[in-house]
Structure 1
Amino acid sequence: MSCLKLPGGRVTSSPEEMRDHAMDFYTNLFGGEQCSTEGREEILEGLPQLSPEEKAALDLELTLEELTGAVNQMASGRAPGIDGLSGEFLKHFWGVLGADLRAVFSECFRTGPLPVSCRRAVLSLLPKKGDLALLKNWRPVALLTVDYKVLSRALSNRLRGVLEMVIQQDQTYCIPDRTIMDNIFLCGM
């Protein structure tokens, strides 16, 4: 990106002004106002709840099998994260690294925060279409480390088992085995 158009219409190529504009733009876009917790119980009333047993199952320590499954689901040919490691690297050396990575995650869940590697990302902007001097025509992408990708995949796989219990049947977006066509059939009822 060589220049950006500022809100007043002036174009700048100053790295400092471009950085400040990007900070303001994305803070306004993603910052939002904090929601009040007033009336929270009323809003949540009647929503499906997990049983204590289901909650306990979600809180169990991650197993090596769950992490192995997550590693095997990683797509090949993807860009490495800020650690420089790719999914292929982890797949190849999983027999050596798997138990140690599981031990790291287990310790983190027992004692507090995730490792620094899991809490860092490199943000990059990819051009979309339109006037590339306008920041709205750039899409932010976060490059994450491979260990974080494994952890998030393992956790999402675990959550998949209870999604249908807590998400209403007419919610179809991003729910496995549900499609937008389901909503069309609901309209006819």
Structure 2
Amino acid sequence: MRNHAMDFYTDLFGVEQCSIEGREELLEGLPQLSPEEKAALDLEQTLEELTGAVNQMASGRVPGIDGLSGEFLKHFWGIIGADLHGVFSECFRTGSLLASCRRAVLSLLPKKGDLALLKNWSPVALLTVDYKVLSRALSNRLKGILEMVMHQDQTYYIPDRTIMDNIFYMRDGCLSGS
């Protein structure tokens, strides 16, 4: 069963290797970050950014392979925050994430239909709490530049934009060019 599931999801989510001809032409005209903006994104994570990410963590979430919850991290952040910051700083210096940040517990959740069929189960990855903190901190940093590189019609996951904006554009004829 395990091999069958692995084969099924490898085929479903596998990456096909292909070359992109005309890559430069495809990317031509897209917005670019200034050298200063790129440098700001490349700065080492600060303890304040990590603390902000910890404070944003939702409560009541399932822990990952480490067994630690967001509540645990919030409660003990004053004790372990500086140490975790040091660990992440070392990761950025070496260019290699912790082994815990590269692992997850995979579980299958039922969808609709015949549950005897593997296609009616959705895989979900339960990530470790340290990975969640790092990814949230990086995500928070990216939020500051998204508006600069994303077209105004792109609203999904862009701060201060909603799908309602696109509905208004359509209603007002902005998307049709009229």
TM (norm. structure 1) is 0.88
Which deviates further from its counterpart, 142-151 or 33-42? 33-42
Equivalent residue for 1:132, pick from 109, 112, 115: 115
CA distance in 2, matches of 1:38, 1:102: 41
Offset at residue 19 of structure 1 (A): 1.6
Kindly indicate whether residue 139 of structure 2 is the aligned counterpart of residue 162 of structure 1.
no
Q: For residues 39-58 of structure 1, what are the structure 2 equivalents within 5 Å?
A: 39-58=22-41
Kindly indicate whether residue 92 of structure 2 is the aligned counterpart of residue 92 of structure 1.
no
CA distance in 2, matches of 1:78, 1:165: 33
Q: Who is 1:111 aligned against?
A: 94
Q: For residues 19-98 of structure 1, what are the structure 2 equivalents within 5 Å?
A: 19-98=2-81
CA distance in 1, matches of 2:161, 2:62: 30
For the structure 1 residues 164 and 35, does the alpha-carbon distance in structure 2 shift closer, same or farther, using more than 3 Å as the test?
farther
Kindly indicate whether residue 134 of structure 2 is the aligned counterpart of residue 151 of structure 1.
yes
Q: Who is 1:4 aligned against?
A: none
Which amino acid is 1:22 matched to?
Answer: A
Kindly indicate whether residue 170 of structure 2 is the aligned counterpart of residue 184 of structure 1.
no
Which amino acid is 1:81 matched to?
Answer: G
CA distance in 1, matches of 2:45, 2:113: 45
CA distance in 1, matches of 2:17, 2:161: 32
Offset at residue 182 of structure 1 (A): 1.2
Which amino acid is 2:97 matched to?
Answer: L
Which SS does the other structure have where 1:161 is aligned?
A: helix
Offset at residue 81 of structure 1 (A): 1.1
CA distance in 2, matches of 1:176, 1:132: 38
Which amino acid is 1:35 matched to?
Answer: C
Offset at residue 178 of structure 1 (A): 1.5
Runs of 5+ consecutive residues of structure 1 not aligned to the other structure:
1-17
Which SS does the other structure have where 2:164 is aligned?
A: helix
Q: Who is 2:158 aligned against?
A: 175
Runs of 5+ consecutive residues of structure 2 not aligned to the other structure:
none
Which amino acid is 2:125 matched to?
Answer: A
Which SS does the other structure have where 2:124 is aligned?
A: strand
Q: Who is 1:123 aligned against?
A: 106
Which SS does the other structure have where 1:162 is aligned?
A: helix
Which SS does the other structure have where 1:169 is aligned?
A: coil
Offset at residue 28 of structure 1 (A): 1.4
Identity of matched residues, %: 87
